[in-house]
Amino acid sequence: MPAPRLHHLNCGTMCPWARRLVNGDGSILANARLVCHVLLIEGSDGLVLVDTGFGGGDVRNPRQISLPFTTLVRPRLELGETALSQLRARGFDPADVRHIVLTHLDVDHAGGLPDFPEAQVHVWARELDTMLRPPLRERARYAIGSAHWAHGPRWVTHEFAGDEWLGFESVLVLPDGDAEILLIPLPGHTLGHTGVAVRRGDGWLLHCGDTYFHRDQVGTPPSCPPGLRVFQAIMQADGRLRHQNLERLRELARRHSGEVELICSHDPVLLDRAQAGA
């Protein structure tokens, strides 16, 4: 059976200040560029999205995202960048999105959920539980996203029960589908944050979500522009766990570079490379 076709989408461009501090190049006076790297998987039984980026409701009503967030990351919020619009532009029926697999529930990852109300939404049970009963420090984070699940998504929660993938715990998301998609626990950015591994021919693509923000963080030696380093520290729910999982990803990149490609959500260079190679 041929491998499902994979598309790399940018479902939200963000333009914070100080490009050199965020992207690591250009002028400190220029706008930075961050993206929302979303995967679209064509399976025989329908379409699968890995994250959604921002949604149509965010474009029409930016206030539902919250002023502090939009002030900090300065999203462009263009209708043409939403997953819904990009699917239609490619000739797909949005109703054919049967499954959405989320790395976590931050607005720039789950903002498009209302655009696909019939899709099953797969998430680590810990992330959904944290959203429903957030600790004090995390209440503001999930309050920002509340408009994106007010429609009552069709949640499908997953627990990890002993399966392993290259040294990581894992769970198969769609056991009856032809697309082999795994959730990989990578808590730290949020308490229920996961990576999503997608079988691609003889190898794998691992979408690491917000475990890291810059490609060189999983390099040897690792490095990261200072602005991104500070932002990650501000946004992390558990810094110890995030750094532990980041180190595990570095080891994965060292040992399995020919078998696994790592990407993250917001690095524009990784997105550009993926789209050029598609």
Domain limits, the chain: 5-277
Does residue 208 have a pLDDT over 60?
yes
Which percentage of the chain shows pLDDT scores above 90? Answer: 90
For 64, the token pair is 């539902």
CA 152 to each of CA 118, 155, 199: distance values in angstroms, whole numbers, following the listed order: 10, 8, 30
Q: Determine the pLDDT at residue 112.
A: 98
Give the chain's end-to-end CA distance (angstroms, integer): 20
Give the residue from 133, 197, 151 showing the smallest Cα distance to 170: 197
Given pLDDT bands bounded at 50, 70 and 90, which one contains residue 43? confident
User: Mean per-residue pLDDT for 111-134?
Assistant: 97
pLDDT at 1 over 80: no
Calculate mean pLDDT across residues 172-195.
95
Name the band, by pLDDT with cuts 50, 70 and 90, for residue 278.
low
58 — phi, psi (to 5°)? Answer: -70, -35
How far apart (Å, rounded) are the C-alpha atoms in residues 3 and 217? 30
Digit-coded pLDDT (tens) for 234-272: 999 999 999 999 999 999 999 998 999 999 999 999 999
When pLDDT is cut at 50, 70 and 90, the band that residue 217 belongs to is very high
Is the pLDDT at 211 greater than 70, yes or no?
Answer: yes
What are the two backbone dihedrals, phi and then psi, of residue 259, each rounded to the nearest 5 degrees? -110, -30
Each residue's pLDDT tens digit, 135-145? 999 999 998 88
Inform me whether the pLDDT recorded for 161 exceeds 80: yes
Q: What is the pLDDT of residue 127?
A: 98
Phi, psi of 270 (to 5 degrees): -65, -40
Q: And the tokens for 277?
A: 């190679």
pTM of the model as a whole: 0.96
pLDDT band of 11, cuts 50, 70, 90? very high
Residue 3: pLDDT above 80? Answer: no
Confidence bin at 68 (pLDDT 50/70/90): confident
pLDDT at 184: 98
Which pair of structure tokens corresponds to residue 44? Answer: 């025989």
Cα separation, 260 vs 263, in Å, equals 10
Whole-number average pLDDT of the chain: 95
Band (2; pLDDT cuts 50, 70, 90): low
Q: What is the mean pLDDT of residues 45-68?
A: 94
Tell me the residue type at 155. W
Confidence of residue 15 (pLDDT cuts 50, 70, 90): very high
Place 45 in a pLDDT band, splitting at 50, 70 and 90.
confident
Measured distance CA(80)–CA(87) in Å, rounded: 10
Beta bridge pairs of residue 47: 42, 97
The pLDDT confidence band at residue 177, using thresholds 50, 70 and 90, is confident
CB 32 within 8 A of CB 19: yes
Fold adopted by 5-277: Metallo-beta-lactamase; Chain A (3.60.15)
